[in-house]
Amino acid sequence: MDRETKDALDEILTSIKSLDARVLKLESGGGVGSPGTEQKKLSLKEFLIERGPSNGVQKTLSIGYFLENYDGASPFNAADLERGFRAAREPVPPNINDKANLCVRNGHFMEHSEKKNSTKAWLVTRTGEEVVLAGFGKARS
């Protein structure tokens, strides 16, 4: 099998895995319920305000966490992160890959074994999840 075909098949497989995760989430109650029981979806901006990241690396980590846990994008790549920054109306860092690589260096992201859309992809580590859930030292009410 040539490299181009393998890359195309890898992209298809990644898309299928992402769709499977979304369908599973919907089927397990993440979708529309009966009237009066619907829960509003948490926006990425609300999530960032709640967690309180204060710099580009912390925001990149928080957006990666949100993409995995609320948006069904696992693994995620630089394009997904950029989409997240734009959705949250946050300034897009000039080099998102640099921010993601700093997250890797801090042990908060790990590189995924397969590429997503022919680009490097990441997953949030357990340590990264703990950092996000702790809220970056922000006093929570």
Residue 74 maps to which CATH number? Answer: 1.10.10
In a domain, 22, yes or no: yes
pLDDT at 18: 74
In a domain, 118, yes or no: yes
**pLDDT > 90? residue 61:** yes
- Is the pLDDT at 138 greater than 60, yes or no? no
Length of the chain: 141
Q: How far apart are CA 123 and CA 141, in angstroms?
A: 29
141 within some domain: no
Q: Is residue 101 part of a domain?
A: yes
**Residue 140: inside a domain, yes or no?**
no
Instruction: Calculate the average pLDDT of the chain.
Output: 85
- The verdict on residue 68 lying in a domain is yes
Task: Output the pTM of the full model.
Answer: 0.70
pLDDT at 34: 47
Would you give the DSSP letter of residue 53? -
Contacts of range 12-21, beta carbons closer than 8 Å, 24 or more positions apart: 13/114, 14/75, 14/114, 14/115, 14/116, 14/117, 14/121, 17/74, 18/72, 18/73, 18/74, 21/72, 21/74
Whole-number pLDDT of residue 71: 87
What residues have CB less than 8 Å from 3, skipping those under 6 apart?
Answer: none
Residue 58 in this model has a pLDDT that exceeds 70? yes
Q: Is 34 a domain residue?
A: no
Percent of the residues in the chain that have a pLDDT greater than 70, as a whole number = 85
Give me the mean pLDDT over the 27-42 stretch: 61
Structurally, how many domains does the chain consist of?
A: 1
For residue 118, pLDDT beyond 80: yes
> Which whole number is the average pLDDT over 110-137?
91
**Gap between the Cα atoms of 93 and 134, Å rounded:** 23
Contact between 124 and 109 (Cβ < 8 Å): yes
The verdict on residue 33 lying in a domain is no
Inter-helix orientation angle 78-87/96-105, to 10° = 110
* Structural domain for 10, as ranges: 3-28+41-134
